[in-house]
Amino acid sequence: MTAQLINGVAIGKELREEIKQGVSNLKSSGTTPGLAVILVGENPASKTYVRNKEKSSAEVGIRSEVINLPATVSEKELLDQVEKLNQDDSIHGILVQLPLPEHINEDLVIQKIDPNKDVDGFHPQNVGKMMIGQVAYLPCTPHGIMEMLERTGVEIAGKHVVVIGRSNIVGKPMGQLLLQKDATVTYCHSKTKDLASYTKQADILIVAIGRAKFVTDEHIKEGSVVIDVGMNRDENGKLCGDVDFEKAKEVASAITPVPGGVGPMTITMLLKNTLQSAEIASE
Ligand code: GUN
């Protein structure tokens, strides 16, 4: 079998057209959605992510503002900056790029963000609402994967989904969102023994472990759907996922590539959350 490619670039583009239209409608009624991104320090990966967020915001008509703070900024100064943005009516979404320098408590900073402007979906209030199925800002990567599965026509109800990874940003919320759509969910992680015995049972396999080409055809059930959240460099410095794509595509029925799979969906969902926040504020 050669798997169908789940194209995150194409699905993301389709969604961004819808977002662009939503932004345009909102602008004609007098509100321009505003996103503030706080970048602390000079982490090169973070700088690239932030630049991409700026560029993508502009493409759909969202006004973005990047606040660069030195790595030596105090926790208090950062919290004060967040509070200033909480009070600013022209800002509908606030994102503090992670990771933060060691002397700053990330949890405190996330909790300082107004939950109504928490477009990352990291605030405990949004996490809690998501857990009990209430309307909340959803974390962008799992939210983007749900959108991809739905737009590809992948059936979720009654399916066995195995999630490899248990981070607060991807693995844990991913399982919860799938559970709410009536999947049977199994979580695996770095301490799971005999990983393949679980993954071989998956109708849908979500891989978010951060290890290049770790999952191979030997972990995958014939005909399953494979979603690869990984973003790594292989031995030749080439971008690759957590799944060995060449091997997996011979077994799976559908699979996301890296690059061009989950990645483009993550920023798209940030734009969608920012639009949603601006729509609510303008009501
Ligand atoms: N660092 C890596 N991914 C993310 C993300 O989705 N949001 C934030 N705020 N920081 C990140």
Query: Domain residues for 191?
Result: 139-261
pLDDT digits (tens, 9 = 90+) for 140-166: 999 999 999 999 999 999 999 999 999
Identify the helix (H) or strand (E) that includes residue 178.
helix 171-180
Q: How many domains does the chain have?
A: 2
- Are residues 159 and 183 in contact, defined by beta-carbon separation less than 8 angstroms? yes
The CATH number given to whatever domain includes residue 99 is 3.40.50.10860
Out of 53, 112, 172, 221, pick the active-site residue: 53
For 77, list phi and psi in degrees, rounded to 5: -60, -40
Interface TM-score (ipTM) > 0.90: yes
**97 lies in the same domain as 149:** no
83 and 165 assigned to the same domain = no
224 shares a domain with 182: yes
Helix (H/G/I), strand (E/B), else coil: 78? helix
> Rounded to the nearest whole angstrom, what is the distance from the C-alpha of residue 44 to the centroid of ligand 1?
13
Residue 236 lies in a domain: yes
Are 181 and 246 within one domain? yes
Note whether 85 and 157 are same-domain residues. no
Let me know if residue 193 belongs to a domain: yes
What does pLDDT average to over the chain?
97
> What is the whole-number distance in angstroms between the Cα of residue 110 and the centre of ligand 1?
11
Cβ–ligand 1 contact at 96 (below 6 Å)? yes
Express each pLDDT in 59-74 by its tens digit: 999 999 999 999 999 9
Active site residue 120: yes
Instruction: Locate all alpha helices (DSSP H) within 104-157, ordered by sequence.
Output: 106-112, 124-131, 140-152
Ligand 1 atom showing the smallest separation from residue 120 Cα: 7
132-162 residues labelled b (16+ CB within 10 A) or e (exposed)? eeeebbbbbbbbbbbbbbeeeebebeebbbb
Does the annotation count 81 as an active-site position?
no
Whether residue 2 lies inside any domain: the answer is no
pLDDT value at residue 1: 65
Does residue 242 share a domain with residue 173?
Answer: yes
Same-domain check for residues 109 and 151: no
Does 167 carry a binding-site annotation? yes
Q: Is residue 11 part of a domain?
A: no
Same domain, 91 and 150: no
* Amino acid (1-letter code) at residue 7: N
Judge whether 45 lies within some domain.
yes
Q: Is 46 annotated as a binding residue?
A: no
Query: What are 179-211's pLDDT values in tens digits?
Result: 999 999 999 999 999 999 999 999 999 999 999
Same domain? For 91 and 149 the reply is: no
Domain membership flag for residue 133: no
Handedness of CA 127, 130, 136, 142 (dihedral sign): positive
Whether the CB of 98 sits within 6 Å of ligand 1: yes
The CA 87 to ligand 1 mean position distance, Å, reads 23
CA-169 nearest atom, ligand 1: 6
Q: Is residue 107 part of a domain?
A: yes
Percentage of the chain lying above the pLDDT 90 cut: 99
Catalytic: 88? no
Asked whether residue 149 falls in the same domain as residue 102, the answer is no
C-alpha span between 63 and 36 (Å, rounded)? 9
The string of pLDDT tens digits covering residues 45-103 is 999 999 999 999 999 999 999 999 999 999 999 999 999 999 999 999 999 999 999 99
Question: Is 175 annotated as a binding-site member?
Answer: no
CA of 47 relative to ligand 1 center, distance in Å? 11
Same domain? For 53 and 94 the reply is yes
Q: What is the CATH number of the domain that holds 147?
A: 3.40.50.720
Same domain, 65 and 154: no
Q: Phi, psi at residue 38, to the nearest 5°?
A: -100, 125
